[in-house]
Amino acid sequence: MLLVGDGQRVYWEQSGNPDGKPVVFLHGGPGSGTSAWHRRFFDPERYRIVLLDQRGCGKSTPHVSDPDADLRHNTTWYLVADLELLRKNLGIDRWMVFGGSWGSALALAYAQAHSSSVSEIVLRGVFTLQRHELEWFYEGGAAALFPDKWEEFIAPIPVLERSRMIEAYHRRLTDPDPSVHVPAAVAWSRWEAETISLLPDEERVAEAVEPDHAVAFARIENHYFLNRGWFGDHQLIAGVASLRGIPAVIVQGRYDVCTPMMTAWELHRAWPEAEFVVVDDAGHAASEPGIARALRAATDRLAG
């Protein structure tokens, strides 16, 4: 556990080769936490693999599913500071930053703030929390492809509140009554779990709707989305000028409904030096075969 202040303890772990190339894995959500399979993107003989659970989720404490959890000290810039503190505590000079979905936004924010600490960048399912990205997935755009799942997502929200779904969910997720916030959290988490891969994955959905996980995930994610990550619109795309000397790979599923390819393409146009890989038979999830192969190929190429 890394004591990062504000009463927060951030869980971290290392695996692989202690003398290998350092890499930090930044999970999505925010609020999803890490899993053992996240290590598989890195050759354990060549990499020193660092995983951490961002504030309030996974094994970090206090867990946001707790009734008294406080999100005031859970913002992008606290997470960026936590990463830099962890790097220094581990005695790492520079490390590869690897992030997907929300983790891609955090990777870009961290690298733009601490470019001298970053050796390479690998991104997947690019997400920058711009208004149009959030409106696509949470205000009705993606319903064009998943009308049946969308109907389940909007069900907990009265008709008159459905024009601002993120705000409507925020009111319910912050309600102290478990009979209000638990069903809302489960519905929020189910919507994402059922739409992030090209093909259904019932095991992923079952994990996503486990109540403690769902409450922390939904509360943290909604908190970040309501505040648009504390980014200015276009901030992460405009900031790539500071990254031009850093080797980078962007992996994007062609049929990603959660973080559509429009944002990855926008980043590619602003940052043509970064290798751009489109996986034509995949959606958003890192576990999809084509995405996993492309990510592993990228880390294998960059290992030297």
247-293: per-residue pLDDT in tens? 999 999 999 999 999 999 999 999 999 999 999 999 999 999 999 99
**What's the pLDDT score for residue 238?**
97
Selected catalytic residue, list 82, 197, 256, 268: 256
**What's the pLDDT score for residue 67?**
79
Encode 266-277: b = buried (16+ Cβ within 10 Å), e = exposed.
ebbeebeebebb
Average pLDDT value for residue range 155-165: 97
Q: Among this protein's residues, is 256 annotated catalytic?
A: yes
For residues 16 and 45, the answer to whether their CB atoms sit within 8 Å is: yes
pLDDT tops 90 at residue 233: no
Average pLDDT value for residue range 92-96: 98
Q: Among this protein's residues, is 117 annotated catalytic?
A: no
Measured in whole angstroms, how far is the alpha carbon of residue 161 from the centre of its chain?
27
Selected catalytic residue, list 32, 60, 65, 101: 101
**What's the pLDDT score for residue 69?**
86
Structure tokens at 23: 């890499």
Instruction: Name the residue with tokens 């869980």.
Output: 11
Cα–Cα distance between 37 and 40 in angstroms, integer?
6
The three-state DSSP-derived secondary structure of the chain is CEEEECCEEECEEEEECCCCEEEEEECCCCCCCCCHHHHHHCCCCCEEEEEECCCCCCCCECCCCCCCCCCCCCCHHHHHHHHHHHHHHCCCCCEEEEEECHHHHHHHHHHHHCHHHEEEEEEECCCCCCHHHHHHHHCCCHHHCCHHHHHHHHCCCCHHHCCCHHHHHHHHHCCCCHHHHHHHHHHHHHHHHCCCCCCCCHHHHHHHCCHHHHHHHHHHHHHHHHCHHHCCCCHHHHHHHHHCCCCEEEEEECCCCCCCHHHHHHHHHHCCCCEEEEECCCCCCCCCHHHHHHHHHHHHHHCC
pLDDT tops 90 at residue 68: no
Q: Among this protein's residues, is 175 annotated catalytic?
A: no
Average pLDDT value for residue range 53-57: 98
Q: What is the average pLDDT value for the chain, to the nearest integer?
A: 97
Confidence band for 8, pLDDT divided at 50, 70 and 90: very high
Give the contacts of 154 (CB within 8 A, at least 6 positions apart). Answer: 162, 165
The three-state DSSP-derived secondary structure of 44-91 is CCCEEEEEECCCCCCCCECCCCCCCCCCCCCCHHHHHHHHHHHHHHCC
How many residues are given for the chain?
304
